[in-house]
Amino acid sequence: MVSIDRFQTVKEPELNILEHWFEIEDTRRRMDGMLPLDEWYARVNNDEHNTVIMAYDGQLPAGVVVIEFGEERTYIGLIVNPLYRLQGYGKQILQKLLNDPEFKSVREWVACIEEDNRISLACFQAAGFTLEDTEPDEDGFLTLILRS
């Protein structure tokens, strides 16, 4: 049974968990902007506009969410633990996060997903996001929006 029972701010020791997820070629290729992880973490951890949280199913890390708060838009990225992919965890993480009182002030969530990443596109759409435009941008990304 898919269950996300808590979110926790990612601390530096938890980067070891993410390192294992980046051993998967698809994760490494799609999220290469996070590499090297220690440099990325130092940068986002020191920026008050960024939040990185781990979603847990009991004691097991189910996914990590990267949030960048902007003035009008809040950008969100998601990596599901490779062991839990295609089991509904991504959708569950998004739904629980979007209903979390801590994030109720967000009026517009934005996810930028590569056009060929059908699994992520389907995940975000299942959580209520809609395509802003049917054509990808010059980098091959589709923009999905969720307004509250």
List, for residues 24-67, the tens digit of each pLDDT value.
999 999 998 899 999 999 999 889 899 999 999 999 999 999 99
Query: The domain 6-147 belongs to what CATH superfamily?
Result: Gcn5-related N-acetyltransferase (GNAT) (3.40.630.30)
Phi/psi of residue 34, nearest 5 degrees: -90, -5
The DSSP output letter for 123 is H
Rg of the chain (C-alpha set): 14
pLDDT under 70: residue ranges of the chain: none
Annotated domain spans of the chain: 6-147
Question: pTM of the prediction?
Answer: 0.92
